[in-house]
Amino acid sequence: MPVNPQLPRPSDSRAAGAIDLRVQLGRLTLPNPILVASGTFGYAREMQQLVDLSRLGGILPKTVTREPRAGNPPWRTVETPSGMLNSIGLDNDGIDAFVAGHLPYLASVGAPIIVSIAGRTAEEFVEMSALLGGTSGPAAIELNISCPNVSGGVDFGANPAMCERLVGQCRAACQLPIVAKLTPNVTSIAEVAKAAEAGGADAISLINTCQAMAVDWRRRRPILGNVIGGLSGPAIKPIALRCVFQAARAVKTPLVGIGGIATIDDVMEFLVAGASAVQLGTVNFYNPTVSMTVLDALPDALATLGATSVGEVVGTLQAPAA
């Protein structure tokens, strides 16, 4: 993709040339650890006038399902202090329309494309994995086994045995790297992370949104049409950091941190807590050029710690044993 002269330019910092920003997530190599999260970046076409897409470490387009989905009834989003609630319900045109209408453009932008998929059954996950494995566009697949706004798929992210079996089935169905996206709405995130690792996940992304709700007390009714939604944004960052830290102590599989990341300080916190990469999510709605800002700041932040690569700081948090 040609660089738009009006887009933010890469940093000219001398530290930038000395820092290796590449990260390895199992079989997946990324040019840098700054990714954009599914459901917050559209299909990337919507952001092309604001962001140099080719500079991103990875793009996760909106989650796709086997068949078209209309999504949940309104209201589907609610602003909250330090975050937002959403109950979109994975509205999309289905995987066939995605492959025909969106994947060719995505494959042309110059950044690795990690396709997020969600199924109601294991068979749907496996079928979509196999279908995508037969195309040339995706660099990897992210299994959305953690969306709180639909029935069925989230069960795979809450039950360790089901998680392990599903990851293994999807890995066997295609040659693309597999990323398992986990939910915080479990008793032990470490146990589910272990299951994803046992199933052969190349990476584990965490977390998806936290189950939450909003109430109109005057009408004595819930505000979201689906009653329960998912909380995202800065409000959940401490929860996400805790989950990454706990998972990093439980598995050797690379982790991708998600949850309230909005600044270079947030990025660095997740890296030292144990994430090898991060996904920027809700922040894209109110600061759509943020990915360029944090990417420009990353080399100097790593240099501050005396590091010459991203990997040198991953999981270096000095904390006592639990």
Name the active-site residue from 147, 163, 170, 174: 147
Judge whether 314 and 278 are in contact, CB under 8 Å: no
Please write the tens of the pLDDT for every residue from 71-96. Answer: 999 999 999 999 999 999 999 999 99
Contacts of 216 (CB under 8 A, 6+ apart): 222, 223
Q: Is 147 a catalytic residue?
A: yes
Range 116-130 average pLDDT: 96
Return the percentage of the chain with pLDDT > 90, whole number. 90
Domain ranges of the chain: 14-312
CA angle 28, 29, 30 (to 5 degrees): 115
Cis peptide before 217 (omega within 30 of 0): no
- Give the SS3 label for residue 257: strand
Q: Residue 314: name the closest of 203, 164, 238, 234 by CA.
A: 203
**Is residue 181 predicted with pLDDT exceeding 50?**
yes
pLDDT at 16 over 50: no
How is residue 235 written in tokens? 């409000």
Q: Which residue has the tokens 């272990």?
A: 194
| Lowest mean per-residue pLDDT among 16-30, 114-128, 159-173, 256-270 | 16-30
The CATH number fitting domain 14-312, selected from 3.40.50.880, 3.40.1390.10, 3.40.30.10, 3.20.20.70 = 3.20.20.70
Question: What is the H or E stretch that residue 181 is in?
Answer: strand 178-182
CA angle 288, 290, 295 (to 5 degrees): 140
pLDDT > 60? residue 6: no
Q: pLDDT by residue (tens digit) across 211-220?
A: 999 999 999 9
List 230's β-bridge partners, or say none.
86, 211
pLDDT at 1 over 70: no
3-state secondary structure of 16: helix
What's the CA gap between 19 and 292, in Å, rounded? 17
